[in-house]
């Protein structure tokens, strides 16, 4: 295996098209988070982001996005933001994770959404599986809703919508808004949600806000960022920024007007978003890893993604393991036990309320 490392922006047209052909050849690689468009746009604001071209003979057989600091500590590209990570590769191609790290000059590579099919090739020393709910729309909307309409969760969504219509009027939907003001509102609402729930405010990082704006303006045959808006009384009540590849739509940043929470505007919006996706030929909606109740409402099955790390022998890798091992043990323990997960969420929400009060004082 020969490896050539460069910046994603340095890829030529033929290399980008080959990347896309690998995605088309495998459902497991179809995520919009694995597209060259996502890599090129996001890496423009991430100076430590690189792509490794894996070669077998004279032909490129794989593309591996990663981030690397000066010490050689690497992370999956857009760690914490991307819901799919790994090598985009030719059918049946396999590689050695240890050799790939050596070729990329990485002492350690950490990931949190590694495609489960690739755990064997990377052979990480540390890994734990997480589950990502998927909505299967491949049979069309009528097929999907006929399977789901009798479930308690879907009935509850319809109850919310009837209440909304009765008290505030029928909602209006714009499935693909190109209004930048809507995007800015989404980021403000999402920042408020992060603070409210005790989580790190992603949009306080200027690079991410700028990258999302650039993605919003990116449109090709194989990629687009879609911002859907649900209006109530002609004002936005719920927004959802999703990323689309050929036939996969991945939810990324949903947000809603907290004052309308009792009407379930988020799940009403999601149901209409799924209908439009099915009608436009989307086969799968990826909800992203997590156990939020709205994901369980709509999902049909789950796929596995892995969190963990792969290290080479050396002082840097040893120091990194000593630094991260306690946190990783705690995180994995919490993820494996439902009661601990619930307690952690309650604690985060309590911290979020305290933070919100301080923010407004």
The CATH architecture one would assign to domain 138-282 is 3-Layer(aba) Sandwich (3.40)
Whether residue 157 contacts residue 268, with contact meaning beta carbons closer than 8 Å, is answered with yes
Look at residue 283 and give its three-state secondary structure: coil
Burial class (CB in 10 A: 0-12, 13-18, 19+), 351: middle
Q: Whose structure tokens read 């032909």?
A: 59
Distance CA 296, CA 214 (A): 31
Q: Judge whether 2-131+305-349 and 138-282 match in fold.
A: yes
DSSP notation for 41-59: HHHTT-TTEEEEEEEETTE
- In order along its 361 residues, the chain shows pLDDT tens digits of 899 999 999 999 999 999 999 999 999 999 999 999 999 999 999 999 999 999 988 899 999 999 998 888 899 999 999 999 999 999 999 999 999 999 999 999 999 999 999 999 999 988 889 999 999 999 999 999 999 999 999 999 999 999 999 999 999 999 999 999 999 999 999 999 999 988 899 999 999 999 999 999 999 999 999 999 999 999 999 999 999 998 999 999 999 999 999 999 999 999 999 999 999 999 999 999 988 888 999 999 999 999 999 987 554 545 555 555 545 554 454 455 565 455 545 554 554 454 444 444 4
Q: Give the separation between CA 56 and CA 130, rounded to whole angstroms.
A: 32
* Residue 77, CA distances (Å) to 31, 161, 208 in order: 14, 39, 13
What phi-psi label fits residue 6: left (phi over 0), alpha (psi between -120 and 50 degrees) or beta?
beta
Query: What is the residue extent of each domain of the chain?
Result: 2-131+305-349, 138-282
CATH number of 2-131+305-349: 3.40.630.30
Q: Which of 50, 55, 20 is nearest to 35 (CA)?
A: 20
Among candidate residues 81, 76, 63, the one with its CA nearest the CA of residue 111: 76
CA 311 to chain centre: 24
């Amino acid at each position: 295996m020969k490896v050539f490392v460069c910046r994603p922006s340095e890829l030529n047209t033929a290399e980008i098209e080959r990347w896309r052909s690998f995605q088309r050849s495998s459902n497991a690689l179809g995520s919009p988070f694995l597209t060259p468009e996502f890599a090129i746009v996001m890496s423009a604001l991430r100076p430590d982001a690189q792509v490794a071209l894996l070669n077998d003979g004279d032909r490129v057989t794989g593309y591996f996005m990663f981030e690397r600091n000066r010490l050689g500590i690497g992370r999956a590209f857009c760690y914490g933001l991307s819901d799919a990570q790994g090598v985009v590769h030719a059918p049946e191609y396999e590689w050695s994770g240890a050799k790939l790290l050596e070729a990329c000059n990485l002492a350690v590579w950490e990931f949190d959404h590694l495609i489960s099919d690739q755990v064997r090739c990377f052979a990480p020393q540390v890994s734990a599986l997480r589950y990502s709910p998927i909505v299967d729309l491949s049979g069309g909307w009528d097929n999907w809703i006929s399977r789901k309409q009798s479930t308690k969760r879907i009935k509850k969504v319809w109850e919310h919508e009837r209440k909304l219509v009765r008290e505030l009027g029928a909602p209006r939907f714009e499935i693909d808004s190109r209004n930048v003001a809507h995007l800015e509102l989404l980021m403000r609402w999402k920042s408020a949600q992060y603070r409210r729930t005790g989580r790190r405010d992603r949009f306080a990082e200027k690079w991410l806000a700028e990258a999302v704006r650039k993605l919003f303006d990116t449109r090709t045959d194989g990629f687009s960022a879609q911002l859907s808006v649900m209006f109530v009384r002609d004002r936005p009540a719920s927004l959802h920024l999703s990323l689309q590849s050929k036939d996969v739509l991945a939810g990324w940043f949903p947000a809603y007007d907290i004052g309308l929470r009792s009407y379930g505007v988020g799940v009403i919006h999601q149901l209409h978003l799924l209908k439009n996706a099915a009608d436009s030929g989307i086969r799968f909606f990826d909800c992203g890893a997590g156990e939020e109740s709205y994901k369980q409402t709509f999902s049909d099955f789950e796929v596995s993604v892995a969190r963990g790390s792969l290290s080479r022998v050396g002082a840097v890798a040893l120091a990194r393991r000593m630094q991260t091992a306690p946190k990783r043990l705690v995180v994995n323990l919490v993820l494996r036990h439902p009661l601990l997960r619930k307690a952690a969420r309650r604690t985060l929400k309590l911290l979020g309320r305290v933070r919100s009060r301080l923010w407004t004082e």
